[in-house]
Amino acid sequence: MNFIPKHITDTRRGILLMLAASFFFALTMAFAKLLSGSMGSVEVTFWRNAVGLIIISVTIVHTPVHNIGGRPYTLIFRGVIGAVALLTFFYSISATSLSAAIVYAKTEPIFTAVLALFLLGEKLKFRAVLAIIIGFTGVAVMSNMKIDYLHVMGIMTGFLSALAYTSVRSLKAHYDTRTVVLSFMLFGTFIPVILMIAAEFYTSELFAFALSPFVAPEGSDWVWIILMGSAAALGQIYMTRAYFYAQAGLVSTVSYSVVLFASIFGILLGDQLPTLIMITGAILIVLSGILLSIA
């Protein structure tokens, strides 16, 4: 594994790396969308993490992790919450357009700012407060003021992701980054297995996002599974390297390019063109995230 000295700054390279990361993350969504035609979102979540678990395990064998430890419950919490966030995200991908799913997921910075205020006691500047208001206005516009199951799942993705990322901030000083990712992958593999077993005996409209039976992959499914896991791993690698080379605020702003890439892939896969209302809501949410990244 190549390590990059933290003092090196190359803004152009950082931007290009983040664009590459966004492309691969959007590609991950596209493969997940293709898989949703033959299996449930819970199984898609399982395969996404199972492939990632293999990849991260190989890196740990090659370069062992070094942990100080001391926060086991927070580490477990991050793994569980991150896995549930992925369940709601892949459910959104299977039930709506890629552009809508990713825009809802991108509400994460809004919820992160709110959680930092209440859980970490961080003070919010006026720009951050304004950004939060703009972001929630965008959510209201995008959902057309409707609170149905699909919109709740989209919003839950953003909220749960924010909760997971907020917990990561308290883990940085105690655990190797790969240990935190490994926790996420382990729970992201184990929890879907339990849910797929439960789905054989129990159904629920309320927990539709978390209950779908296992369907044995066939033919091209294996291709999409491998490509999905590989694209996700590449996205993670490029994103991490981007933060080494450029300022976090700039990289976070460029990360919103994933909305464009996901929209293009979605249209290529048959998604309808976004409506004016959806575009307006998306613009407000993206604007909110950008303001928060530079606040």
What separation, in Å, do the N-terminal and C-terminal C-alpha atoms of the chain show? 33
Provide the pLDDT for residue 2. 45
Which residues of the chain fall below pLDDT 70? 1-9, 120, 145, 169, 248, 295
What local confidence, expressed as pLDDT, does residue 6 receive? Answer: 46
Sign of the C-alpha dihedral computed for residues 260, 262, 264 and 270 taken in this order: negative
Domains in the chain: boundaries: 11-294
C-alpha to C-alpha distance for 157 and 84, rounded to whole angstroms: 8
> CA 78 → CA 83, 114, 274, distances in Å?
8, 18, 33
Whole-angstrom distance, CA of residue 102 vs CA of residue 184: 20
Check residue 177 and give its pLDDT: 74
pLDDT at 188: 92
pLDDT digits (tens, 9 = 90+) for 15-50: 899 899 999 999 999 999 999 989 999 999 999 999
Residue 9 has a pLDDT of 59
Q: What confidence tens digit (pLDDT) does each residue in 180-218 have? A: 888 888 999 999 999 999 999 998 888 889 999 999 999
pLDDT at position 78: 87
